[in-house]
Structure 1
Amino acid sequence: MASYLAQEVQLARRHDKILSQRSVLLQQMENHLGDKKTEKMSQTQAADAAYKRNAALLSTLYWASVEESIPKWEQFLLGRAQMPVGFKKKKSTKYNISHPEGAAQR
Structure 2
Amino acid sequence: MASYLAQEVQLARRHDEILSQRSVLLQQMETHLGDKKTEKTLQMLAADAAYKRNTALLNDIEAAEKRLQAGVHLQPHPNIVKIETLYWASVEESIPKWEQFLLGRAQTPVGFKKKKSSEYNISHAKVAAQR
Name the TM-score, length of structure 1 as normaliser. Answer: 0.66
Q: Give the superposition deviation at 1:67.
A: 1.1
Give, as a single letter, the amino acid of the residue that structure 2 aligns with 1:70: A
Matched, 1:14 2:14: yes
1: distance between equivalents of 2:27 and 2:49? 33
Aligned positions, number:
75
Structure 1 residue runs of 4 or more that deviate by more than 3 Å after TM superposition: none
Where does the alignment leave 5 or more consecutive residues of structure 1 unmatched? Answer: 76-106
Give, as a single letter, the amino acid of the residue that structure 1 aligns with 2:3: S
1:65 corresponding residue in structure 2: 65
Larger Rg: 2
Matched, 1:44 2:49: no
Q: Give the superposition deviation at 1:74.
A: 5.3
Q: Give the superposition deviation at 1:40.
A: 1.1
Name the TM-score, length of structure 2 as normaliser. Answer: 0.54
2:5 corresponding residue in structure 1: 5
Higher relative contact order (CA 8 A, sep 6+): 1
Greater shift, 34-43 or 65-74, is seen at 65-74
2: distance between equivalents of 1:74 and 1:30? 66
Where does the alignment leave 5 or more consecutive residues of structure 2 unmatched? Answer: 76-131
